[in-house]
Homo-oligomer: A and B are copies of this chain.
Amino acid sequence: MSATLRNDLLLRALLREPTPRRPIWLMRQAGRYLPEYRATRSRAGGFLEMCTNPEIACEITLQPVNRFPLDAAILFSDILTIPHAMNLGLEFEAGEGPNFERPVRTSADIARLPVPDPGEELKYVIDAVALVRRELRGRVPLIGFAGSPWTVATYMVEGGGSKTFGQIKRMMYEAPRDLHRLLEVLAKSTILYLNAQIAAGAQAVMVFDTWGGVLTPAQYEEFSLRYMAQVVDALTRNADGRRVPNIVFTKGGGAWLKKISGVGCDAVGVDWTTDLATARAQVDGRVALQGNLDPSALFAPPEVLRAETLRVLESYGAGAGHVFNLGHGITPDVDPERVALLVETVQAYQVPPA
């Protein structure tokens, strides 16, 4: 039996239940801006070595939660664990980002992709989830995550990061059925993966669609949103006698929030280019919202950071359904003192009644 969850603000806010204050966690909260992370990293070797070692992944996951009174932990891992498990020769070169030795370009490449068994090839992730959940001892909920099928596919087809997404867009225009087959394999894999994370102890899950925003509106629906909808639809709804809320986040998806909120998810992430008031009008009470401070506001002097944080809190307006977060991941050069101030400001904010 798991320890009772003592701080369930995140889970309640994601389900739009009233909370005395708004919960806060930060995308990439376990990361290079923390000296303890950098120390662990230099001990562990590389990035993949940290992800694939459950003890180290657990240690890193807990670092920000131990340092700041955050309202959630998010598993330290990467959105490329699934293609890594598909044996495409993933490497993280220092300062270069991910690189696949064997990118996926042809229908034959796609036909031979396996659907990884989370209990086998991704066991290290599932073990890390179980370990973190145990070590958290009910302090805060644990968020599991995966990349969206579209976003993961961009790395697999491009062979790494990209500015123009020329390879995958070529596939989209020349061989859309191939791309759909790739996205189907990824959607299936993601469902098994997230449900295994939930079974192992994840109390909420998030789907990161980092690159949906490079598509036209029609392509976004056909190649990204559709597969996130499949994933959301197949997620385990309850675990440990509680609802397991899910969050869908498309960076650059501000214009499509209404459509995103219609896929059956509980909450939608919003980047900083859309005001939460605008976002809230779009989703019209169907989902909770998560976001959306500009990560660069953490460079601001304390009084400016506080003002920007209050502006975000107020832009959501009165009532339930807001989880405070950044609009994108925290960057390596942030001063941890600023994060402390941010967390304190959010947690001191009195939520106006609905």
Contact = CB atoms under 8 A, between A and B. Distances in A.
A294 interface: yes
Interface residues of A, number: 35
Contact of A216 (B217, B219, B272, B305): B272
Contact of A165 (B273, B296, B305): B296
A173 B255 contact: no
Contacts of A216: 272-273, 275, 294
A274 interface: yes
A96 to B, nearest CB: 13
Q: How many copies does the complex hold?
A: 2
Interface string A213-236: 111111100000000000000000
Contacts of A172: 296
A301 B333 contact: no
A131 interface: no
A331 to B, nearest CB: 6
A300 interface: yes
A169 interface: yes
B255 A301 contact: no
B252 A273 contact: yes
Interface string A46-73: 0000000000000000000000000000
A304 interface: yes
Interface in A265-317: 272-275, 278, 294-297, 299-301, 304-305, 308
Contact of A173 (B215, B275, B296, B331): B296
Contacts of A297: 173
Contact of A215 (B255, B273, B300, B304): B273
A333 B218 CA distance: 24
Contacts of A170: 296, 299
A213 B255 CA distance: 13
Nearest to A274: B255
A164 B331 CA distance: 8
Given A216-B275, A217-B274, 17 more contacts: A164-B296, A166-B299, A166-B331, A169-B296, A170-B299, A173-B299, A174-B299, A174-B301, A174-B304, A214-B273, A215-B273, A216-B294, A217-B273, A218-B275, A252-B252, A254-B255, A255-B278
7 contacts: A164-B296, A166-B296, A170-B296, A173-B304, A173-B308, A252-B273, A255-B255
